[in-house]
Amino acid sequence: MFENINIRRVLIAPLDWGLGHATRCIPIIHALLAQGYEVVIAADGAPAVLLAKEFPSITILPLRGYKIQYAKTGAGLFWQLLKQLPRIVQTISTENAWLQKIIVTEKIDLVISDNRFGLHTKLVPCVFITHQLTIKAPIVWVEKILQKINYYFINQYSACWVPDIAGDINLAGVLSHPTVLPKIPIKYIGLLSRVENKKIAIEFQYCFLLSGPEPQRTLLEKKLVTSIGSLPGKALLVRGLPDSNKELMAPLNTTVYNHLPTDQLTEMLCASEIVICRSGYSTIMELVRLQKKAVLIPTPGQTEQVYLAKKLATTNWFYSVEQNALNLSTQLNEAMLQLYSIPDFYFFHSNDLPALLHKG
SS (H, E, C) the chain: CCCCCCCCEEEEEECCCCCHHHHHHHHHHHHHHHCCCEEEEEECHHHHHHHHHHCCCCEEEECCCCCCCCCCCCCCHHHHHHHHHHHHHHHHHHHHHHHHHHHHHCCCCEEEEECCCCCCCCCCCEEEECCCCCCCCCCHHHHHHHHHHHHHHHCCCCEEEECCCCCCCCCCHHHCCCCCCCCCCEEECCECCCCCCCCCCCCEEEEEECCCCCCHHHHHHHHHHHHHCCCCCCEEEECCCCCCCCCCCCCCCEEEECCCCHHHHHHHHHCEEEEEECCCHHHHHHHHHHCCCEEECCCCCCHHHHHHHHHHHHCCCCEECCHHHCCHHHHHHHHHHCCCCCCCCCECCHHHHHHHHHHC
User: Please, are residues 143 and 156 in contact by the beta-carbon 8 Å criterion?
Assistant: no
Confidence class for position 136, pLDDT limits 50, 70, 90: confident
Q: Give the model's pLDDT for residue 77.
A: 60
Query: Edge-to-edge strands of the sheet including 254-257?
Result: 254-257, 235-238, 204-209, 272-277, 294-296, 319-320
Which domains, ranges and CATH numbers included, belong to the chain? 9-191+346-359 (3.40.50.2000), 204-337 (3.40.50.2000)
pLDDT in tens, 41-100: 999 998 999 999 999 999 999 999 877 666 565 555 666 666 667 778 888 999 999 999
User: Please, are residues 162 and 190 in contact by the beta-carbon 8 Å criterion?
Assistant: no
Backbone dihedral angles phi then psi of residue 245, each to the nearest 5 degrees: -115, 5
Q: What percent of the chain has pLDDT over 70?
A: 93
Average pLDDT over residues 135-147: 85
pLDDT in tens, 14-55: 998 878 899 999 999 999 999 999 999 999 998 999 999 999
pLDDT in tens, 163-176: 999 989 999 999 99
- Which has the higher per-residue pLDDT, 9 or 338? 9
Average pLDDT over residues 230-246: 90
What average pLDDT is seen over the chain?
Answer: 91
Tell whether the model's pLDDT for residue 268 goes beyond 70.
yes
To the nearest 10 degrees (0 to 180), the angle between helices 262-270 and 281-290 is 60
pTM above 0.95, yes or no: no
User: Please, are residues 319 and 334 in contact by the beta-carbon 8 Å criterion?
Assistant: yes
Confidence class for position 360, pLDDT limits 50, 70, 90: very low
Angle at 174 between CA 279 and CA 2, to 5 degrees: 100
Confidence class for position 1, pLDDT limits 50, 70, 90: low
User: Please, are residues 121 and 114 in contact by the beta-carbon 8 Å criterion?
Assistant: no
pLDDT in tens, 283-324: 999 999 999 999 999 998 888 999 999 999 999 999 999 998
Amino acid letter for position 315: T
For residue 104, the Cα-to-chain-centroid distance in whole angstroms is 29
Confidence class for position 138, pLDDT limits 50, 70, 90: confident
Confidence class for position 101, pLDDT limits 50, 70, 90: very high
